[in-house]
Structure 1
Amino acid sequence: MTSTAVSRRRASAPAGDARRRGVVLAIAIVAVLVSIVLSLSFGSRPVTWNEIVDGITSWFLGTTPTDIGALAVQSRIPRTALALLAGAALALSGALMQAITRNPLADPGILGVNTGAALAVVIGIAFLGTTGAFGYLGLALVGAFVTAFFVYFVGSVGPGGTTPIKLALAGAATTAALSSVVAAILLPRRDAMDEFRYWQVGNVGRAEWETMALVAPILVIGAAVAILCASSLNALALGDDVAVGLGVRVGRIRIVAAIAGVTLCAAVTAVAGPIGFVGLMVPHAVRLVSGSDQRWLLPLSALGGAVLLTLADTLGRVLGSPGEVEAGIITAFLGAPVLIAIARRTRMKAI
C-alpha cells in the first residue's frame, strides 16, 4: 500500500466515525421524541392523537381540559418530564463513574450511591421530620457522598489497590446492608408504607413541577461539568502516566468528575427515589455504537438514559394497569441480565 493510500485511509476513518456518530445522535433524538409520545399516550387509559394534542395545548395555555383523555395526557406531562431528566442524569452519572474508575461495573446503583441517598432521606423523614424537596435534596446529597467515599475506601483496601472487582463487591455489600436498614425503618410503619415505598424502589409517578424546578439547575450544572471533563476523561482512559504527560491533572479531574456524578445521582434520588441499572446499561449500549470517545459518549448516554427510563415508566403503567409497576422495578428487571453478561466475561478489563 502506497503512502498516499495510507494517508487517505487515515483521513477517511475520522470522517466515517463522525458520520456514524451523527447518525446515532439523530436516532437518539428521534427516540427521545418517540418515548415522549408513548409516555403521553399509554397508561391506565389509552388516549388518541387528538387528545394528546388537546392535552399538550391546554397545558401550554394553562387551562384545564374538559375531555377526560386530554386531562389524562396533561397529568402525564410532569412524570414524563421527570423521567427524561432522571434517566439522562442517571446515565450520565454512570458514564462518569465508569470513566473515572475505568470499571465496567461502575453504576450509581451497584456502587450503592443511590441507596445511600435514599437511606438518608428515609432517616430524615422517619426520625427528623424532614419534609419538602429542599430537605430531601440536602439529605440525599449527604447520603450519596458519604456512601461513595465509604465504598471507594473499602474497595481500595488491601493488595492491588482499587480494582473493578473490589469496587463492585464493596458496592454490592454496601447496597445490601443499606437496603436492609431502609427495610428495617419502613416495615414497622405500615400506616405510612405507601409514602415510604417511594424511597425503597424508585418511581417517577409523584412528579411535581416545584421539585423539578429545585433540582433542575443542579442537574444542568452537573451535566455541564461532565461535558467539560470529556476531553480530560479521554486522556485518563489512556492511563494515569499518559494523561499526566498530556497535561491532565489526574487527581483533580477525578475529583471533579466524581462530584458531578454523585451529585447527579443524589439529585435524582431526592425526587424519584433509588432507580438502579440505568447508569450501567446505557453507557455500555452507547459505547457499542459510538465508541469510547467521551465527547460523544456522555451526551449520547444522557439521551439514551432519558429514553430508557421514560419507556420503563410507560411499560410499568401498561403492565400494572389500572395501577402501575414502579420504574425502578422495570429497570432492575432489564438491567440484571446486562450485569450478568458483563460479570461473566473471562477477564474484567478496564475501559
Structure 2
Amino acid sequence: MMLKVDLLDVAYGPILAVSGADLEIADGEVVALLGPSGCGKSTLLRAIAGLERPTKGTISWNGNDLAGVPIHRRGFGLVFQDGQLFPHRDVAANVSFGLRMRGQHPTLERVDEMLELVGLSGYGNRRVTELSGGEQQRVALARALAPHPRLLLLDEPLSALDRALREQLAIDLARLLRESGSTALVVTHDHDEAFTLADRVAVMRAGRIVQVGKPDEVWRRPVDEATARFLGCDLFLDATAENGILTCEFGSVPVPWAPDGPVTAGLRPAALRVGDGPTEATVAARVHRRDHVRLVVDTGDRQVDAVAGIADAPEVGARVRLVLDPDGVAMLSRRG
C-alpha cells in the first residue's frame, strides 16, 4: 500500500499555499513533513486527509484517486496539535469513539490494548480534564490508532507541550509508531522531532517540497543554502575535500559525506568547540544552555558561534582555541 501525492496545488483564492507537491509514503513508513510556520505543510496534510480541496494534481492510495472520497471513507487517522478530545467523556470513551467513527464495535480489550501501547494502562476511567497535556496527546494517539488506520496523519502533535515533555514524547511516539507498524505522515517545524520520528524527511519551503531523503542525508547534505539555514547552519565557508577530508579555515577534519573538490561547508553553532585546534579566538559573549555554554568568539577576521562544556566554559575576554567538529558540518555544492 502506498500514498502518492502528484503535482498537487492548493490555493486560497489568489494565494497558492501548496505548489507542485510530490510525495510518496510506502506501507509501514513514517515520513516527516518539516518546514517553518506558514510554508504550507499543514495545508498539504489537510488536503491528504480530505479537509482541503486541491486545485490541481492528484492524491491517490494504491493507485486509486481519492478525489471525491469523503474524509470518513479514506481510512486515515488524524491527530492534531490540541488532541481535540471530548472533555465530558473519560479516557476509555474517547478511545472508543475512534472505533465507532469507523463503524467498528469498541471492546474493552481493544481499548485496554491501545492504552497500554501509549503507556496509559489503567487510565480508562479518568476524565481527560484530569490529565496532563502529554497524557492527553497519548489518548489522542490511542483514539487515532484504535481502528487500525491505513495512514496516520499527525499535525504538529507535540508542539503545544513544554520542551522536556516534547522530547520524551517524541521518543515514545517513535517507538509507538514502530511497534504498531503504522504508516504515518508527521507535520512539524521542529528538526529534532522530525529526525527522531521519521524514516524519511521531506523539507518544505514556500509551498514547495524542496528535498526528500533519509534523516542523515538531509541533515548532512542540504539541497541548498536556504535549506541549510533552516536546518541550523549559520556560517558558510569555501572549503575543499579530498578522500573524505574537509579542509577549511578552521582546519582539516574527516567528513566522509563531503564530495571531492571545492565545496561549501555549512557550520552549525556546535561545529566549533573550544579545544586544542589551530584557530585562536577571544570570547566576546557567552550564554548558558541546558547542557552546554554557547559562545560568541572573535577570530580577528570575524565573529562566530562556538560551544563549550558547562564545567570548563571560558569567561568573556578569555583566549581560546577552536576545534572543528564534523557532526556540526553540512555539505553543499560550491556556490556560484
Q: Same fold (TM over 0.5)?
A: no
- The structure with the greater share of residues assigned to strand is 2
When Rg is computed on C-alpha atoms for both structures, the one with the higher figure is 2
- The structure with the greater share of residues assigned to helix is 1
TM-score relative to the length of structure 1: 0.21
TM-score relative to the length of structure 2: 0.21
